[in-house]
């Protein structure tokens, strides 16, 4: 399936450029007895709208059908506020943000880290971990998964009726 997804990514490139969109991620998963081709897109500058997702879905539907023989559902959406971080450009783009990282093996005695993404260089994530209270270096090859962490701004849930 990985080969098919790579080919799919190449074939949708023109449509991405034409609509001023960037591919954040593509996954093919089985969920609840159904197969899903999930395509996550976003505008690098500005807001990605529901209409952007609908229009893009229409443009790439035939390409997906060409490449995948079995029955599946195509879903096009934005990556969301707690988006996955996979590619080097993701880590560079979100430097300074709070992230959650899981590793394949122990680093500093743990596999789970949460904190500020300090920097990314030489294929290494530098995260200021809140529990360890220090900057931890995580090589990309040890990364299992990573995502942004959304925090509700202070005061937003405070009641005005006090």
Please state the domain extents for the chain.
Answer: 2-77, 88-148
pLDDT at position 44: 75
137 has a pLDDT exceeding 60? yes
* pLDDT-based confidence at residue 131 (cuts at 50, 70, 90): very high
What are the beta bridge partners of residue 158? none
* pLDDT-based confidence at residue 160 (cuts at 50, 70, 90): low
Q: Rounded to whole angstroms, what are the CA distances from 58 to 24, 29, 65, 67?
A: 18, 20, 12, 16
**CATH of the domain spanning 88-148, picked from 1.10.275.10, 3.30.70.270, 3.40.640.10, 2.30.30.180:** 2.30.30.180
49 has a pLDDT exceeding 50? yes
Return mean pLDDT, the chain: 90
162 has a pLDDT exceeding 50? no
- Distance between CA atoms of 12 and 159, rounded to whole angstroms? 47
- Distance between CA atoms of 99 and 113, rounded to whole angstroms? 8
135 has a pLDDT exceeding 80? yes
Q: What CATH number is given for 2-77 in this structure?
A: 3.30.300.70
Burial class of residue 84, CB neighbours in 10 A (0-12, 13-18, 19+)? middle
């Amino acid at each position: 399936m990985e080969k098919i997804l790579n080919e799919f990514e190449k074939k949708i490139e023109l449509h991405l450029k034409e609509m001023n969109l960037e591919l954040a991620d593509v996954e093919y998963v089985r969920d609840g007895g159904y197969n899903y081709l999930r395509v996550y897109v976003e505008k690098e500058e500005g807001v990605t709208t529901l209409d952007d997702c609908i229009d893009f879905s229409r443009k790439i539907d035939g390409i997906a059908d060409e490449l995948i023989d079995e029955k599946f559902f195509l879903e096009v959406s934005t990556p969301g506020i707690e988006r996955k971080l996979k590619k080097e450009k993701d880590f560079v783009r979100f430097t300074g943000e709070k992230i959650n990282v899981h590793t394949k093996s122990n680093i500093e005695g743990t596999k789970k880290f949460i904190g500020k993404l300090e920097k990314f260089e030489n294929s290494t994530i530098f995260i200021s971990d809140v529990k360890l209270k220090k900057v931890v270096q995580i090589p990309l090859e040890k990364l299992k998964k990573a995502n942004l962490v959304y925090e509700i701004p202070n005061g937003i849930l405070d009641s005005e009726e006090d």
